[in-house]
Amino acid sequence: MDNPEDDAQDPQVDHSDSSSAPPDRPAGDGAGQDQDPLIEFLHRLNKEHGNTKTAKLLGVDRKTVWRALDAGRLTPRLRDALEREQRAAEQAAEREAAGGDQLELRVAGLERRLQDVETQLAGGLSGLRAELTGVREEVRTLAWTRQGGAPSGHVSTLRSPHRSYPQVVTVEALPDDAEVFGDAMPLITEWREQRARFKAHWPSVEGLDAEVRMLELELELIEERRLTIPPGQLPWEWDQRGREARRREQRLGTARSNLRRAGWRRWLLQLLSLELMRG
């Protein structure tokens, strides 16, 4: 049982001896220490902060802490101080846990808002691209009819011993690519590079970036250059070309969304890491 006279002696302690450390005794020597969790809490505070800081934290003299650790008994004043400090530590831990939950909720909310915006933008852009494709087809048809031949930008129609159809782009380069494809050759070369990069790095950010550029090039080769892209093996008719272009437009919208989402996720992770380091 606690002795009230112990606290009454605190103001009269000779501080000239207060720098002395408690004797080296294993925890649990004091009577009843193993049964009192506050004694264990006091041992933990003393181990983490030292005798001087622990006494200052609890608002008691250092020898009061020394005696409690030595005897394994708490005075009423020291017990009250330990209970207050223990409650404060528990409340701080609860606040920290609640703060982490709130941060996760904020991140989830931002991701949902970003996804909604991406969906709205993708729908609007898809509609505009479809209208633009239709207008381009009408302009090309009109120009072709007036000139009495194929519109400009088409590939050569010369026969080649290396391929069956000059309108079909191959994944691997062929010896007469430059003669067959003419000014479309730089686009085809870049498409092959981006395709290899996409296959090597997807689904990383680099792979997603390569997928976006690869699909942009495919749309230009299909719509502008009137070429057939693998896995096509026979030249596409105008209706099939339109379907292939729309399919790539849809895939391009998804790829752009995935790339933006991956960039946002990487940015959010960097922000969370900085906040955790500062905390």
- If DSSP codes are grouped into helix, strand and coil, which group holds residue 217? helix
> What is the structure's pLDDT at 273?
76
pLDDT higher than threshold 80 for residue 198:
yes
Separation between Cα atoms, residue 255 and residue 261, nearest integer Å = 10
Q: Cα torsion at 20, 25, 31, 37 (round to 10°)?
A: 90
- What number of other Cβ atoms are within 10 A of residue 145's Cβ? 10
Strand partners, 163: 160
Q: Which of 8-22, 60-74, 77-91 has the lowest mean pLDDT?
A: 8-22
Task: Compare 7 and 243 and report the one with higher pLDDT.
Answer: 243
Task: Compare 204 and 137 and report the one with higher pLDDT.
Answer: 204
Mean pLDDT confidence for 209-230: 95
> What is the structure's pLDDT at 117?
75
- What number of other Cβ atoms are within 10 A of residue 84's Cβ? 12
The amino acid at 61 = D
Burial per residue of 30-50, b for 16 or more beta-carbon CB atoms within 10 angstroms, e otherwise: beebeebebbeebbebbeeee
pLDDT higher than threshold 80 for residue 167:
yes
Task: Compare 220 and 137 and report the one with higher pLDDT.
Answer: 220
Residues listed for the chain: 279
Separation between Cα atoms, residue 128 and residue 121, nearest integer Å = 11
- What number of other Cβ atoms are within 10 A of residue 221's Cβ? 20
Separation between Cα atoms, residue 264 and residue 259, nearest integer Å = 9
Model confidence over 84-143: pLDDT tens digits?
Answer: 887 887 777 777 766 656 667 777 777 777 777 777 777 666 666 666 665 655 555 454
Which of the four pLDDT bands, split at 50, 70 and 90, describes residue 152? very low
pTM: 0.44
> What is the structure's pLDDT at 19?
41
Mean pLDDT confidence for 12-26: 42
> What is the structure's pLDDT at 201?
93
Residue owning tokens 């494809």: 181
- What number of other Cβ atoms are within 10 A of residue 191's Cβ? 24
With a pLDDT cut of 90, the percent of the chain lying above it is 29
pLDDT higher than threshold 70 for residue 144:
no
Sign of the dihedral defined by the CA atoms of residues 114, 116, 117, 122, in that order = positive
pLDDT higher than threshold 50 for residue 13:
no
